[in-house]
Structure 1
Amino acid sequence: MTSWKTAIASMQWLFFIFANTIVVPISIGGAFDLPGEMITGIIRSSLIFTGIACMIQALIGHRFPIMEGHSGVMWALVLNLCATASTMGISLSTVGGGIATGLLLAGGVVVILSKFNLLAFLHKIFTPMVMSCFLFLLTFQLVLIFFKGMFKVGVDGTLLLPQSLFSIAIAVLVFLVKVKGKGTVGNYSLLIGMATGWIAYLLLFPSEQQANDTQSLLSIPIFPLGEPNLHMGIIIVTFLASLINLSNTLASIHSIADMLQERVTQARINRSFMTTGFFTIVSAVFGLVPFAPFASSLGFLESTQNYSKKPLVWAGATMAVLGIIPMMGNLMATLPVTVGNAVLFIMYLQLLGTSFRSLNGYQFNSVTIHRLAIPILTGLGVMSLDASIFSNFPVLIQPILTNGFMIGISISLVLENCIEWEEKSPSTTVWDEVD
């Protein structure tokens, strides 16, 4: 790959990583009712460690061109725990401290199990069909999030039509560039859409831009969500969710290996788990949502048609620099969230194709179709429900019951590991025991 192509590809990766990252610490800071300077510190921590995690995974961990970012599964769980804090009669800082303890415990366990090669049993639990259900539910969950994020809502709860129509126009632009663009033009649709939308939004809606205060590197907070505590309910829920979150790693590696037609070794997977476990510990300390390889990166790769990991490494390094240098981070923070959501909405449409391809080799009849239909449709059904209808259940299990993704994956795990299906197909990915 020539240097100019690497530079452009790195810029695309940077926009992709940033757009997937920036909204997470902002939402967490708001949920925990943190002061502005504390939220700014969490944002900077997020930029720094997301960039570092991407580099380490690409160079040492799984060594695939997959973004390592804040897990959507854990993001939803943290927000749900915040929403139920008043119902449980505990403070937000107690919730945050319990989450920190659960993450420290989960991260430590994953690192130890990875070190001593004790995670191979996950291959038997997270079967290829479970991974297919994971990809389908992840596609629906992300597309719904980004579709909703395209629309600008005012403080009174009403739709701001000009900004919303602008986001839709950017989504259409990205789609047209992708399908109509010739050669490399179509592959750079994300970069074109982000740059065009960013500049045009600043010109059309200048009153919405706010100045950001700069901070020093030493201002990054430690345990900003709350000091670790022993609230067992929060700890147990967080720990179990973190283990389920490991399916992110398996699904991502399984899918990218199929795409690139590479053989995956157990040692390679162990290194990826160890990296994720380490950054789970980091997340607990700095008040971040835990990390996981993004299976959604597959949609980005298919859109750009660039499968080299070098641009991802450079983008990760740049991302870390943005967090270290406040002025640069503040500049990137002017990227309109609605524009980022509009571009990502189009990018993640590709993930649906990846989900369908994961079913290659499977044949279904009127009985075996249930192994796919029950977990996916049940998960979608839970996603469509108002979380308040579960208020009569014990508060410690409400975060699980209201999470359609986790419900769907849990059902799939039970079906695949407890029922002998008559027409079960083998995985298309080859797992080896040596590196």
Structure 2
Amino acid sequence: MDLDFNLDEKPPKIENLLFGIQWLAVSIPIILIIGKIVGSVYTNGNTVSYIQTLLILMGIALLLQVKFGHKLPMVIGPATVLLIAILATLNQGFGSINSSIIISGAILTIIAATGLLKYIKKLFTPRVIIVILLLIAFTLAPTILKLMIETNGVVKFTNLLFSLGLILIILFTHKRLKGLWRSTLPLWIMLFGSLLFYLIFNQGYSQDLNLQFLSLPSINNPILAIPDIGMIFAFIICFLALTINDLGSIQSVGYLLKLNDMDKRIKKGIVVTGLTNILAGILGLVGPVNYSMTPGIIATTKCASRYPLVITAIGMIIIAFSPLTVSIISSIPSPVIAAVLIYIMTAQIGAGINIGIETKAYNNNMDHGIVMGLPIIIATLIVFLPQTLIDQLPLMIRPILTNGFVMGVLTVFILEHLIFKEPKLDAES
């Protein structure tokens, strides 16, 4: 690929600033979306302080990756798979959730630092990776549905219609945009969708405009508690998925840039991911992960320099110190968040299908269909289990059996590596 700026080449100041702002525009939407969802649960609706702290964490994680970790130009943000883990274990308490993130982050750090990662990678065949990508999308269905019909002064059915209509607008726009405009589409949809929602439904702006322009985020001391074995196991499974996401994202950029030192970059990158997830647990936040959308952005901008990401990280931290700015940019109505999430998850399902085609993970083989289909069905059934049934399960195994993502991953492991084992198809990377 012909690039204007290579990995260790620093663009001129103005271009460096512009590239950094472009990366920031790509990174902000997913931070806001996941920050609002988890922050509303952790803080009973007061999400500004939570998003402030989350922005600082993501900025620190990005700086560490660019300076000491994989040293690649990569988008970083909250891990969707951890969002699933948190939402599935809310009944266990925030203390247990935070502690589970700390423990799982520590285990990930040790695995990466000691070289044990090469053994873990063998579990993740192409079919397993495809299922994980699909599971993340399918197990978020209850959360997305709740956002689509949330009561916000508008009739639930009207909110649902608005979300569906906005999805059609997103797809229409996606088809016609190219390059960086398409990469930053979630940002523009959030802006346009919010404005449209307020105009159509005559909703007053509900965010607090009396907040200070500059202020330190009020970081509350998070509760920590000793989680039970079942909960730790559930989070470890989710962190395995986070690891393969991190691994695949780093590898994709290395492949694009034709780098020959990827083993070292992967090791350092995942160590930083583990350490920053420990910090996330200490602060009571969703931990970070490297995103796989990076190659598309590099191809669009023709800039593979890592230096603009320093500007991006500093931008995140600067925004975090303005409660008023965070309040304004996070004033996204729930139906708009739902529509953007559907767009992102649909793209993820498409990525999973493309991986299957490229790797020939399924070849008109009924066994392959079972390996990938059964985990999706089981996971979907579990996320819609009635609370009355969940309450009847033993506390020790409840975090596992009621987590659709975890059960889906365990199912695909059993099918792929035991019942329908095909050693020659195991992934080497």
TM tier relative to shorter chain = 0.7 to 0.9
Structure 1 stretches lacking a partner, 5+ long: 86-94
The alpha-carbon distance between structure 1 residues 352 and 222, as it changes in their structure 2 partners (threshold 3 A), is: same
Question: Contact 2:82/2:238 (CA < 8 Å) preserved in 1?
Answer: no
Task: Report the alpha carbon displacement of residue 355 of structure 1 after superposing the two structures with TM.
Answer: 0.3
For 1:82, the equivalent position in structure 2 comes to 90
For 1:121, the equivalent position in structure 2 comes to 119
Find the aligned partners of 1:211 and 1:348 in 2 and give their Cα distance. 31
2:36 counterpart of 1:23: yes
Find the aligned partners of 2:124 and 2:302 in 1 and give their Cα distance. 26
For 2:22, the equivalent position in structure 1 comes to 9
Structure 2 stretches lacking a partner, 5+ long: 5-10
For 1:272, the equivalent position in structure 2 comes to 269
Task: Report the alpha carbon displacement of residue 342 of structure 1 after superposing the two structures with TM.
Answer: 1.9
Which of 50, 61, 76 in structure 2 is aligned with 1:53? Answer: 61
The alpha-carbon distance between structure 1 residues 229 and 278, as it changes in their structure 2 partners (threshold 3 A), is: same
Moved more, 107-116 or 255-264: 255-264
Find the aligned partners of 2:107 and 2:338 in 1 and give their Cα distance. 35
For 1:245, the equivalent position in structure 2 comes to 239
For 2:218, the equivalent position in structure 1 comes to 219
2:351 counterpart of 1:354: yes
Question: Contact 1:178/1:187 (CA < 8 Å) preserved in 2?
Answer: no
2:379 counterpart of 1:371: no
Task: Report the alpha carbon displacement of residue 358 of structure 1 after superposing the two structures with TM.
Answer: 1.7
Question: Contact 2:59/2:313 (CA < 8 Å) preserved in 1?
Answer: yes
1:342 alignment partner AA: A
For 1:408, the equivalent position in structure 2 comes to 408
Question: Contact 1:153/1:160 (CA < 8 Å) preserved in 2?
Answer: no
Task: Report the alpha carbon displacement of residue 20 of structure 1 after superposing the two structures with TM.
Answer: 3.1
For 1:139, the equivalent position in structure 2 comes to 137
Task: Report the alpha carbon displacement of residue 394 of structure 1 after superposing the two structures with TM.
Answer: 0.5
**What is the number of residues matched between the two proteins?**
405
2:35 counterpart of 1:41: no
2:35 alignment partner AA: I
The alpha-carbon distance between structure 1 residues 8 and 170, as it changes in their structure 2 partners (threshold 3 A), is: farther
Task: Report the alpha carbon displacement of residue 52 of structure 1 after superposing the two structures with TM.
Answer: 2.6
Question: 1:345-387 deviations in whole A, cap 9, x for unaligned?
Answer: 2243222221012222233523343222222322223234334
1:292 alignment partner, SS class: strand
Find the aligned partners of 2:298 and 2:138 in 1 and give their Cα distance. 18
The alpha-carbon distance between structure 1 residues 346 and 422, as it changes in their structure 2 partners (threshold 3 A), is: closer
2:248 counterpart of 1:254: yes
Question: 1:82-104 deviations in whole A, cap 9, x for unaligned?
Answer: 33x5xxxxxxxxx3333333333
Find the aligned partners of 2:298 and 2:144 in 1 and give their Cα distance. 17
Moved more, 306-315 or 130-139: 306-315
Question: Contact 1:187/1:303 (CA < 8 Å) preserved in 2?
Answer: no
Moved more, 143-152 or 301-310: 301-310
Which of 175, 182, 191 in structure 2 is aligned with 1:179? Answer: 175
1:275 alignment partner AA: V
For 1:111, the equivalent position in structure 2 comes to 109
1:345 alignment partner AA: I
Question: 1:186-216 deviations in whole A, cap 9, x for unaligned?
Answer: 5553343233223344445442423154484
CA RMSD of aligned residues (A): 3.6
Task: Report the alpha carbon displacement of residue 412 of structure 1 after superposing the two structures with TM.
Answer: 1.5
Find the aligned partners of 1:308 and 1:172 in 2 and give their Cα distance. 32
1:415 alignment partner AA: L
Find the aligned partners of 2:139 and 2:321 in 1 and give their Cα distance. 32
Question: 1:124-144 deviations in whole A, cap 9, x for unaligned?
Answer: 223332212111212323466
For 1:385, the equivalent position in structure 2 comes to 385
For 1:199, the equivalent position in structure 2 comes to 195
The alpha-carbon distance between structure 1 residues 424 and 306, as it changes in their structure 2 partners (threshold 3 A), is: farther
Find the aligned partners of 2:36 and 2:411 in 1 and give their Cα distance. 30
2:30 alignment partner AA: I
Give the share of equivalent positions with the same residue, in percent: 22
Find the aligned partners of 1:284 and 1:61 in 2 and give their Cα distance. 20
2:151 alignment partner, SS class: coil
Find the aligned partners of 1:382 and 1:303 in 2 and give their Cα distance. 39
Find the aligned partners of 1:266 and 1:351 in 2 and give their Cα distance. 26
Find the aligned partners of 1:112 and 1:369 in 2 and give their Cα distance. 35
Find the aligned partners of 1:405 and 1:315 in 2 and give their Cα distance. 32
1:275 alignment partner, SS class: helix
Question: 1:208-264 deviations in whole A, cap 9, x for unaligned?
Answer: 4231544842632222xx2x344x51x651355135423223135326745855578
Task: Report the alpha carbon displacement of residue 329 of structure 1 after superposing the two structures with TM.
Answer: 1.8
Find the aligned partners of 1:382 and 1:306 in 2 and give their Cα distance. 42
Which of 89, 98, 101 in structure 2 is aligned with 1:100? Answer: 98
Structure 2 length as normaliser, TM-score? 0.79
2:69 alignment partner, SS class: coil
Question: Contact 2:89/2:399 (CA < 8 Å) preserved in 1?
Answer: yes
Task: Report the alpha carbon displacement of residue 406 of structure 1 after superposing the two structures with TM.
Answer: 0.9
Question: 1:280-309 deviations in whole A, cap 9, x for unaligned?
Answer: 2212221113333345x47x9489956856
Find the aligned partners of 2:298 and 2:165 in 1 and give their Cα distance. 19
Structure 1 length as normaliser, TM-score? 0.78
2:118 alignment partner, SS class: coil
Find the aligned partners of 1:304 and 1:176 in 2 and give their Cα distance. 23
The alpha-carbon distance between structure 1 residues 53 and 395, as it changes in their structure 2 partners (threshold 3 A), is: same
Question: Contact 2:273/2:288 (CA < 8 Å) preserved in 1?
Answer: yes
For 1:69, the equivalent position in structure 2 comes to 77
